[in-house]
Amino acid sequence: MKGETSWISHCFDDMSKEIGGLDSFSELIDEGNKETAAVSVDLILPDDLLERILAFLPIASIFRAGSVCRRWHEIVSSKRFLWNFSNVLSQKPWYFMFTSSDEPVGYAYDPILRKWYGIELPCIQTPNWFIASSCGLVCFMDNDSRSELHVCNPVTKHCKKLEDPPGLKFPDYSALSISVDRTSHNYTVSVVKSKQVPGNFFQWDLSIHIYDSETRMWATSLTEVLTGWRGGDESVICDGILYFLIYSTGGGTPENRHGLVTYSLSGRSSPLLRSFIPVPGPLTCGRLMNLKEKLVVVGGMGKQDRPDIIKGIGIWVLEGRNWNEVARMPHKYFQGFGELDDVFASSGTDDFIYIQSYGAPALLVFDMNQKLWKWAQKCPVSKKFPLQLFTGFCFEPRLEFAP
């Protein structure tokens, strides 16, 4: 048992230093009952009941609780605690914001405690790598060869390097996505590669490559030549379906600059354009995300006379083959970003969507359940020079998932 939990204990030691420890148990309980609860609860509760209680704490509080005393540290570092924690349906997603254009450093935002933590990301070498996340695991892919991939748990720091995917080397465009099965903990990674056919701007080679963590093997599921369309860098897996955006190369109308195609990971459907779904109006950019196995797109809405200039941001959910508008960003929040580019960063999971301008560290949160917009606490970093860029990604902080 001791050997099985040594890595968990090491993880808690590292993360408790990054997040900060508790001075006493009383910081986790109501102010009015500090002394009574600190004495009675800790002595009376058996380990199994205390494990279940601690498993429902925000994950940052779990790490801090591990620094209270030896008993609590052993409890939250145990394999049995991970099993209890796995029965908690979800932790609200954190958002990691890169604060350097060159180094993969930054802060993670906890929306429950509304705090930023300085944590180190494993595996990734630069902020411009491709990033996708699902159920506590994050996948990184390099932005040069598009063949170096790592899957990691950013909380426990467990990391695994995948074999190089097959297919085109140095494609013009790539889209990365990952999907984790909450029950089996197996995961699927997909890479969509797109490269221009030599001498023909209108035709593009497109291929889909799937990695299965259970077999530890890649498979090329589809190769196809698209005419008038190319792949891009946006994709996501929802309920066994791979969705990705394609972009017009034929100079069509503004409404047709983007399109959505679907690919069943089990049915291996083809050809792609038969599954074409128009996007909800002219978009300056679109960001795809999986929210409770529903496909959601956050898009920049273009002006009527200048569709390439952003006038607002909308959120839509796909119902069948139709789009249902969920919300539009109120103008005061849109103005709050200052000068918002036509493209922006956005990612989400569970009920939360994060939106960030590349030009500033301001972070806006939208709660899909409550239909509520709210600014995150100010990130402890400031813009140092005019061309400094900020970006980030969200992930669900989990302890029990390992690549």
CATH of the domain at 72: 1.20.1280
For residues 326 and 184, membership in a common domain is answered with yes
- pLDDT band at residue 60, thresholds of 50, 70 and 90? confident
For residues 231 and 358, membership in a common domain is answered with yes
Which of 392 and 267 is assigned the larger pLDDT? Answer: 392
Q: What is the mean pLDDT of the chain?
A: 83
- If one counts the domains in the chain, the total is 2
pLDDT given for residue 22 in this prediction: 41
Q: What is the mean pLDDT of residues 104-108?
A: 91
User: Model confidence over 118-171: pLDDT tens digits?
Assistant: 888 989 999 999 999 998 999 999 998 899 999 999 988 899 999 999 988 889
116: Cβ–Cβ under 8 A, 6 or more apart, which residues?
Answer: 107, 108, 109, 110, 377, 379, 380
Report the chain's terminal Cα–Cα distance, integer Å.
Answer: 21
Instruction: Quote the CA–CA distance of 141 and 162 in Å, as a whole number.
Output: 10
Closest of 294, 267, 374, 278 to residue 329, by C-alpha: 374
Residue whose structure tokens are 């540290």: 73
Which of 1-5, 64-68, 109-113, 164-168 is predicted with the least confidence, judged by mean pLDDT?
1-5
Q: What is the mean pLDDT of residues 298-313?
A: 85
Q: Is residue 352 part of a domain?
A: yes
Which of 249 and 245 is assigned the larger pLDDT? Answer: 245
Query: Does position 5 have pLDDT exceeding 60, yes or no?
Result: no
For residues 297 and 209, membership in a common domain is answered with yes
Q: Is residue 363 part of a domain?
A: yes
- pLDDT band at residue 360, thresholds of 50, 70 and 90? confident
Q: Is residue 30 part of a domain?
A: no
pLDDT given for residue 348 in this prediction: 96
Which of 72-86, 133-147, 271-285, 365-379 is predicted with the least confidence, judged by mean pLDDT?
72-86
For residues 76 and 209, membership in a common domain is answered with no
Which of 185-194, 281-290, 330-339, 371-380 is predicted with the least confidence, judged by mean pLDDT?
330-339
Instruction: Quote the CA–CA distance of 285 and 298 in Å, as a whole number.
Output: 8
Query: Does position 83 have pLDDT exceeding 70, yes or no?
Result: no
Which residues constitute the domain of residue 57?
Answer: 45-84
Type of residue numbered 39? V
For residues 206 and 71, membership in a common domain is answered with no
CATH of the domain at 386: 2.120.10.80
Q: Is 82 left (phi over 0), alpha (psi -120 to 50) or beta?
A: alpha
Sheet of strand 241-248: strand arrangement: 229-238, 241-248, 258-264, 277-278
Residue 116 Cα distances to 76, 91, 108, angstroms: 22, 16, 5
For residues 195 and 298, membership in a common domain is answered with yes
User: Model confidence over 327-353: pLDDT tens digits?
Assistant: 999 999 998 887 777 889 999 999 999
Q: Is residue 347 part of a domain?
A: yes
Q: Indicate the pTM of the whole model.
A: 0.85
Query: Does position 227 have pLDDT exceeding 60, yes or no?
Result: yes
For residues 187 and 71, membership in a common domain is answered with no
For residues 317 and 263, membership in a common domain is answered with yes
For residues 80 and 94, membership in a common domain is answered with no
For residues 104 and 50, membership in a common domain is answered with no
User: Model confidence over 9-48: pLDDT tens digits?
Assistant: 555 555 555 555 443 333 443 433 443 444 455 667 777 7
Last residue in a domain, options 69, 84, 99: 84
163: Cβ–Cβ under 8 A, 6 or more apart, which residues?
Answer: 211, 216, 217, 218
Query: Does position 385 have pLDDT exceeding 70, yes or no?
Result: yes
Query: Does position 112 have pLDDT exceeding 70, yes or no?
Result: yes
pLDDT given for residue 18 in this prediction: 56
Q: Is residue 315 part of a domain?
A: yes
- pLDDT band at residue 69, thresholds of 50, 70 and 90? confident
Q: Is residue 371 part of a domain?
A: yes
Query: Does position 384 have pLDDT exceeding 90, yes or no?
Result: no
pLDDT given for residue 32 in this prediction: 37
Closest of 296, 267, 298, 266 to residue 283, by C-alpha: 298
Q: Is residue 34 part of a domain?
A: no
For residues 55 and 109, membership in a common domain is answered with no
Phi, then psi, of 15 in degrees rounded to 5: -70, -35
Q: Is residue 398 part of a domain?
A: no
* Token pair for 171: 């494609």
Last residue in a domain, options 61, 84, 107: 84
User: Model confidence over 252-301: pLDDT tens digits?
Assistant: 555 678 899 999 998 766 678 788 999 998 899 999 999 999 999 999 98
Residue 88, burial from CB neighbour count under 10 angstroms (0-12, 13-18, 19+): middle
For residues 287 and 233, membership in a common domain is answered with yes
